[in-house]
Structure 1
């Protein structure tokens, strides 16, 4: 065994991870501190779990290196470091030093080259070397005695691991990277040659040199690209090769100077106080970093990948990669059991009946909630202790009878008094519903907790576990595989299934303990969570289960019409082009438009080719007929494939209805997202799109009812901005666009022309979306100066709106988020970006988000109110769809008058704004007719 172990941390990789993983934390003076806190936790974790007697954290220095001198375009396309991160760099260096780490920043030498040089020096001295990084380029350094570890994923790579991961051994990594190129560092490779091609070539030819010598043997376009790159590839290889012979002597860096030091408690106390790290201050005296003595490693070799057995993290809960909880996280000893006997099952039944809160999770045969079968159930009542009850595995292992377990569990599952917790419980509600069980007592959902706390972050359990607990969880792919080789969960053996499923329940429970206190401590967030998101989940589950009828014969008839229209358009397009071509091929469209017809190039793709995206075609369509016809073709083709052909195949054979799925935790603004099928994006501005809605029909003796909030975002704007003129117009029930036109054009209401009203409507909606004079000019087809004059006139007539927008920009930058009327936080990660375009985009979002978010809150409250009213009155009416500001219901004829009477009242009274809410109700035999 080596007498020393050297741990080299890629500090530049770490600090970007810390910055992007943490929320926008700031101290009392407003100084950004998120990356600093993330670094504290990551560096402590590295010392705790990757124990070494010699350590170093290496950062990139400012200024150019030999690579920029050799190739001026090196890293030229990298965006500048975010301003908030740049402000924290010096403090990060200070705090890492105080944590006992030697910090290396060598002018003129990249961090990778410092790491490479030190690693090879240590190997020559017979030291063991561990490099902690997320940078794939450093895989070229791996050899016996030098390995990589990615602490974010706990992936550890030795020589066999590199081969398994990349398909080539460490000594061929530079050749592999040279072929592919490195987009991050702006080092081109062979065009169109990706990882698979690089591996194929190196396995066939052995080395890059041999490949270049025999390039004539490579056929096709990629072979031509290879031969065109022969002069460049040696330089690419030089740029991508990590130097291992840098002269570090003048910087007084020797291996023995890199010994691990104890933490400097006093300096850390000063820094933690300065940065406002309360939980870290409390934990400071308790924290005991490693002694610096190398420990033995227990390595489990599987497919060339080694993983280190290490103690659990002792970080404060949530401090590692996200929201900061105040309570230190205890070391959790995991006790997971597989319940296969009645005696064990009875013990767990007793546990959950006595527990105040139980986490419940289901494992199934797939993802379509209404079509899959239950495979097993996992439970957890205390952190670290969980079980998995297998019910339908096909592995010929002993399991309890499914009917017996469900019969015994049903009273508890349907008990409102026994509180349940889960991650995305709406899914589990459906799974138990498939088994004839109505899940009640749904108290908490960690998916929604994360969404309420950090709407802009990822809310899957794996991401949250890393962010809040510092835990790397078992992924579904690790258990079931990927792609065509993926198996269903019922085919997984019970030992593996238990490790995965019990962990799900345990981690979910621990996430609840980490996140919920922050929600409970904030009155606004608690209201969003308890009064909107949780009850909305119930309403959405009911809607999804209700489904909607479609007329497949009407769709088939529509398909024939659209198909004929597509053939006609294809003929017109080919005639305009002067030749036949594949209309679905962007490349061929580009050749026709910009090669043959020589139309003006509007913009280019990243590869330099003229773009043919929708924005470009719309611009060209203003002056040329061919792009206009191509747009028509694309629109119809999408309608045909997405709805006309697909919807009949999505009818559930058990219910005869189509069941969309609503996602609550997707849009930052709180809006819902519909999928499989997406029923929120059916185009309604075209006749063909409206025909699709005609295929959504009511069952016999029932009708469709549509209830739509009228001009909801403009009303919310009037409420938030408190502009007197807007408030007065809405209070008087005036046509708001007509009223705006009257104000802007200085005429009476009865003198407003249709053209003036159209202008006012574009301006009303445009400004609440942050539209600039440039955008307004394009929408109205006028000069930019005229558009600016309209905007100036608008703000002069509605000063409250101008004041709101100005204040919102300032407040958003100060806090990093804006709020809806109800207190939902809408995070704006780019609001302080050094990139002007991104910052301006965030500023526009800051203006619109409170309105869009408040509208989303209102429609959720409306859904809750309507569903509650239906249940309280035991009605046969069903709520089917929510589309933006509209609810769609299926109403029996004998309940129609009652619904029409109560629906507007229910929806307009969910909140009291400074302007009246207005709901318009329509009735018809199909959705289009009702709308």
Structure 2
């Protein structure tokens, strides 16, 4: 019953060595070792799927000596150094774990065991049940009624009875047991020739280690002689073996809440390590706002717990779920839906892609714990007769298209798009539990239905993998027998209804959040559905030509790199790069790895490239070119829908904590804009014949929001006068007239303007501008002296955030800051930077969402010859009839500029062209 554990602690260093020695030695096509890395990630994902913990800590041994080394200089002296191919995998592993949103812990001068022991003990003292994932027998000393071990290699659990069965002694005697035997791997002295049986026999007879020591003279034979010879060493062995439970930590077990994953970073890593399995699960994870492979409820595979039927589940109230197979039952439910003020609605489909998914069945609910599943297209051998799909959809169509009949769902955008494919234009979307959770607290939990049910209803829902299987053998929903499909589908509608009843009163209690929900997030659902289904046309031939050019450029960069290095090498191998950099070329060591080796991280490459070294610059450029090929020029043509001839992305409302939209498949937000190669990719986004591309972009919106929120007189005046804000800032700081400011001075002012919003320090500014730190500090000081309102705003915001533990956008959206009062300086500083940035970034997100709603309303009402086809950062992109382009552009700019009233003008810059790049 793994779901019963609130806290999960992972012995990550143990995971790493076990995976390295137990699993195949995998490498990428570039020669990078990945076997241990992928093994650890697989074990972690499996553990999280099976436990769905509220709190989780992934604990590594910190580099450097520990207190045990100080006690005994020969401690672990027999251990060989970490193999190079394993060491190469350590930093990528940690980066991926952090990107997964998992708290990663390394505490100097103690071992991971001690950190785990301290956290587990504190959790138990708080009444929290803790599961420790480890293969280390030493951890058995921690086991009690609230602390259990799990070995993920064997799926075996160790509770107090299990410890006694496995070792022959209870948990409280494990230290004595281990001290007597010693440990050759850790070089802990014990009693020679004292094995497990002897240790157990002595402890059973004499009670504990002290009893054995005090009766050493009674023990006969050679082993008795060995015991007496080892008496002076046994206290040391006990001290080395004992796991500390009182390590000084700046965090409590309840601080170990997982964060939303960084999907883009994860995708980049998974592509680099060439793991198709991990990429596939990430694709499911990114579809929180798209669909599960059956229903679109955001029940993403690999993100929430898997089959917990076999493992034990939370107790749920008795439910009355019906499977509708005859007309009379359907008619009864149809009448119930007609009479209901609000009903929960959910579709089950045969695909993830909303542009290809067909409806397999429909589930509905009106009252808690009562729901019905209407199967329509289950076609497995022996499937029972089902109601006619077209007749059922035609009967439901008037209800679904009636704006007065209010509907509720979980990620209803997916259902709306699927229904549109079936000829039904859904209206009356009143509530979406995914968005309710997101508006209530964007960082409290993931917003898929399974996670919400666990958090707000304390219910473990039926997981999709439970009914469909997983991997290559996973069934589509039409292949699943009704006896398992129907309860799963009906539960979705029931749980959605009950989540609404739990979440909506919480939102209504905070009027500002209710406004964000009612006026921004819910109205945006149909807008996004329409944009997604419209899609964007791309020029596959142009992308093919670009791909060939990029391949030639990559080959050229490789040859130049080989020439600089004096021979061929694997450009993806940190080990080979390090040898060339530091042994052969004698480049300066910028930073070191935790093990003390010279680092070849991307930050190091960038610094060396900035300092004029050719080879790091060539490697960086090669990586950028290769990423453009794999992510865009090769991939986009394969994503064209054969029916529409266009590419259809998925927009996610409930991912970014600040309220910004994100997108996937393809990710439109990450197409580069600053490089020429990136801009060329935008040239492949083209309109239909007779149309042009129109791009409308908010100009410096976050700086304008800063001026509004801070009320600084000079900033307000600069924007009111229509000045170039970066030139005006440089003029203010340097005491010049705007026309006297050089381009270099303007660039420095721009770095300050944007850097302050994102919490950049003087050190960061110095590095960005290539100047001394004191000069950068002087620049920052001068900025605040000229714009005192900005500093006052920042100071007040930090203080307000410390008091309220959240900040708000101009429209009332909240971002909670759990670490704003944290004793750890790094965590607290990061939260303070977020407190400054989030109101501006979140307000910008709210404004462009409001603009999308207004523009969409105008298009549907007036029906001008234009379609909204993309939203990217602060930009909206349209496809417009050529003859109407100028008039439409003027009207769209006016609508976007009217999306908010600020103390400074909102400026929208629009462009028209034959492709996206020309328009932008």
Separation (CA, whole Å) in 2 of partners of 1:702 and 1:756: 41
2:527 is aligned to 539
Measured after TM superposition, the shift of residue 620 of structure 1 is 1.4
Match of 1:712 among 697, 701, 704: 701
1:343 is aligned to 328
Separation (CA, whole Å) in 2 of partners of 1:558 and 1:464: 44
2:770 is aligned to 781
Measured after TM superposition, the shift of residue 874 of structure 1 is 1.9
1:401 is aligned to 388
Written as runs of structure 1 = structure 2, the 5 A alignment for 1:752-763 is 752-763=741-752
Does residue 504 of structure 1 match 2:532? no
Q: Are the counterparts in 2 of residues 13 and 133 from structure 1 also a CA contact under 8 Å?
A: no
Match of 1:654 among 643, 648, 654: 643
Separation (CA, whole Å) in 2 of partners of 1:652 and 1:170: 60
1:618–1:140 CA distance, 2 compared to 1 (3 A): closer
Separation (CA, whole Å) in 1 of partners of 2:425 and 2:527: 14
Q: Are the counterparts in 2 of residues 143 and 170 from structure 1 also a CA contact under 8 Å?
A: no
1:10–1:534 CA distance, 2 compared to 1 (3 A): closer
Q: Are the counterparts in 2 of residues 820 and 854 from structure 1 also a CA contact under 8 Å?
A: yes
Measured after TM superposition, the shift of residue 808 of structure 1 is 1.1
Q: Are the counterparts in 2 of residues 12 and 111 from structure 1 also a CA contact under 8 Å?
A: no
- TM-score normalized with structure 2 length: 0.70
Q: Are the counterparts in 1 of residues 363 and 374 from structure 2 also a CA contact under 8 Å?
A: yes
Match of 1:464 among 434, 452, 458: 452
Separation (CA, whole Å) in 2 of partners of 1:68 and 1:608: 20
Measured after TM superposition, the shift of residue 801 of structure 1 is 0.3
Match of 2:420 among 424, 428, 433: 433
1:132–1:831 CA distance, 2 compared to 1 (3 A): same
Measured after TM superposition, the shift of residue 240 of structure 1 is 12
Written as runs of structure 1 = structure 2, the 5 A alignment for 1:891-906 is 891-906=880-895
- TM-score normalized with structure 1 length: 0.69
SS in 2 for 1:680: helix
1:467–1:546 CA distance, 2 compared to 1 (3 A): same
Q: Are the counterparts in 2 of residues 532 and 857 from structure 1 also a CA contact under 8 Å?
A: yes
Written as runs of structure 1 = structure 2, the 5 A alignment for 1:466-615 is 466-605=454-593, 610-615=598-603
1:328 is aligned to none
Separation (CA, whole Å) in 2 of partners of 1:339 and 1:557: 54
1:67–1:815 CA distance, 2 compared to 1 (3 A): farther
Written as runs of structure 1 = structure 2, the 5 A alignment for 1:579-728 is 579-605=567-593, 610-623=598-611, 624-728=613-717
Separation (CA, whole Å) in 2 of partners of 1:242 and 1:311: 38
SS in 2 for 1:782: coil
Separation (CA, whole Å) in 1 of partners of 2:140 and 2:818: 29
Separation (CA, whole Å) in 1 of partners of 2:744 and 2:308: 71
Measured after TM superposition, the shift of residue 561 of structure 1 is 1.4
Gaps of 5+ in 2: 10-65, 76-108, 130-137, 172-182, 187-196, 198-234, 246-305
Separation (CA, whole Å) in 1 of partners of 2:857 and 2:70: 65
Q: Are the counterparts in 2 of residues 80 and 834 from structure 1 also a CA contact under 8 Å?
A: no
Deviations 1:716-765 (A, max 9, x none): 00000010110111111111111111110011222222222111111111
Measured after TM superposition, the shift of residue 662 of structure 1 is 0.5
1:372 is aligned to 357
1:306–1:694 CA distance, 2 compared to 1 (3 A): closer
Match of 1:75 among 107, 112, 115: 112
Separation (CA, whole Å) in 2 of partners of 1:838 and 1:715: 28
Measured after TM superposition, the shift of residue 590 of structure 1 is 2.9
Q: Are the counterparts in 1 of residues 450 and 461 from structure 2 also a CA contact under 8 Å?
A: yes
Q: Are the counterparts in 2 of residues 721 and 803 from structure 1 also a CA contact under 8 Å?
A: yes
SS in 2 for 1:907: helix
Match of 2:368 among 383, 389, 414: 383
1:143–1:592 CA distance, 2 compared to 1 (3 A): closer
Q: Are the counterparts in 2 of residues 13 and 134 from structure 1 also a CA contact under 8 Å?
A: no
SS in 1 for 2:670: coil
Deviations 1:12-70 (A, max 9, x none): 769xxxxxxxxxxxxxxxxxxxxxxxxxxxxxxxxxxxxxxxxxxxxxxxxx9999978
Separation (CA, whole Å) in 1 of partners of 2:689 and 2:114: 61
Written as runs of structure 1 = structure 2, the 5 A alignment for 1:879-918 is 879-918=868-907
Does residue 860 of structure 1 match 2:849? yes
SS in 1 for 2:663: strand
Q: Are the counterparts in 1 of residues 149 and 157 from structure 2 also a CA contact under 8 Å?
A: no
Measured after TM superposition, the shift of residue 310 of structure 1 is 7.6
SS in 1 for 2:859: helix
1:561–1:341 CA distance, 2 compared to 1 (3 A): same
2:141 is aligned to 113
Q: Are the counterparts in 1 of residues 344 and 409 from structure 2 also a CA contact under 8 Å?
A: yes
1:522–1:305 CA distance, 2 compared to 1 (3 A): closer
Deviations 1:198-218 (A, max 9, x none): xxxxxxxxx9xxxxxxxxxxx
Deviations 1:395-416 (A, max 9, x none): 2312222112112111111111
Q: Are the counterparts in 2 of residues 858 and 910 from structure 1 also a CA contact under 8 Å?
A: yes
Separation (CA, whole Å) in 2 of partners of 1:69 and 1:344: 76
SS in 2 for 1:700: coil
Deviations 1:802-837 (A, max 9, x none): 001111111112221111111110122222222211
Separation (CA, whole Å) in 1 of partners of 2:412 and 2:436: 12
1:922 is aligned to 911
Q: Are the counterparts in 1 of residues 348 and 489 from structure 2 also a CA contact under 8 Å?
A: yes
Q: How many residues align?
A: 699
SS in 2 for 1:838: helix
SS in 1 for 2:870: strand
Q: Are the counterparts in 1 of residues 605 and 616 from structure 2 also a CA contact under 8 Å?
A: yes
1:727–1:498 CA distance, 2 compared to 1 (3 A): same
Q: Are the counterparts in 1 of residues 307 and 462 from structure 2 also a CA contact under 8 Å?
A: no
Separation (CA, whole Å) in 1 of partners of 2:68 and 2:769: 52
Measured after TM superposition, the shift of residue 707 of structure 1 is 0.5
Gaps of 5+ in 1: 1-6, 15-63, 102-109, 117-130, 149-157, 160-168, 175-186, 191-206, 208-234, 247-301, 313-331
Separation (CA, whole Å) in 1 of partners of 2:167 and 2:594: 31
Separation (CA, whole Å) in 2 of partners of 1:918 and 1:393: 53
Separation (CA, whole Å) in 1 of partners of 2:684 and 2:437: 38
Q: Are the counterparts in 2 of residues 652 and 658 from structure 1 also a CA contact under 8 Å?
A: yes
2:224 is aligned to none
2:438 is aligned to 451
Separation (CA, whole Å) in 2 of partners of 1:617 and 1:827: 36
Separation (CA, whole Å) in 2 of partners of 1:819 and 1:80: 39
Measured after TM superposition, the shift of residue 891 of structure 1 is 0.5
Separation (CA, whole Å) in 2 of partners of 1:533 and 1:829: 24
Separation (CA, whole Å) in 2 of partners of 1:820 and 1:549: 35
1:806 is aligned to 795
Measured after TM superposition, the shift of residue 137 of structure 1 is 6.0
Written as runs of structure 1 = structure 2, the 5 A alignment for 1:842-861 is 842-861=831-850
2:202 is aligned to none
1:418 is aligned to 405
SS in 2 for 1:136: strand
Measured after TM superposition, the shift of residue 366 of structure 1 is 2.3
Separation (CA, whole Å) in 2 of partners of 1:552 and 1:75: 52
Does residue 832 of structure 1 match 2:821? yes
Separation (CA, whole Å) in 1 of partners of 2:616 and 2:532: 39
Q: Are the counterparts in 2 of residues 737 and 761 from structure 1 also a CA contact under 8 Å?
A: yes
Measured after TM superposition, the shift of residue 502 of structure 1 is 0.9
Measured after TM superposition, the shift of residue 614 of structure 1 is 1.9
SS in 1 for 2:876: strand
Measured after TM superposition, the shift of residue 454 of structure 1 is 1.0
Measured after TM superposition, the shift of residue 336 of structure 1 is 1.0
Separation (CA, whole Å) in 2 of partners of 1:758 and 1:189: 58
Separation (CA, whole Å) in 1 of partners of 2:806 and 2:184: 38
Q: Are the counterparts in 2 of residues 422 and 445 from structure 1 also a CA contact under 8 Å?
A: yes
Separation (CA, whole Å) in 2 of partners of 1:345 and 1:68: 75
Separation (CA, whole Å) in 2 of partners of 1:702 and 1:309: 56
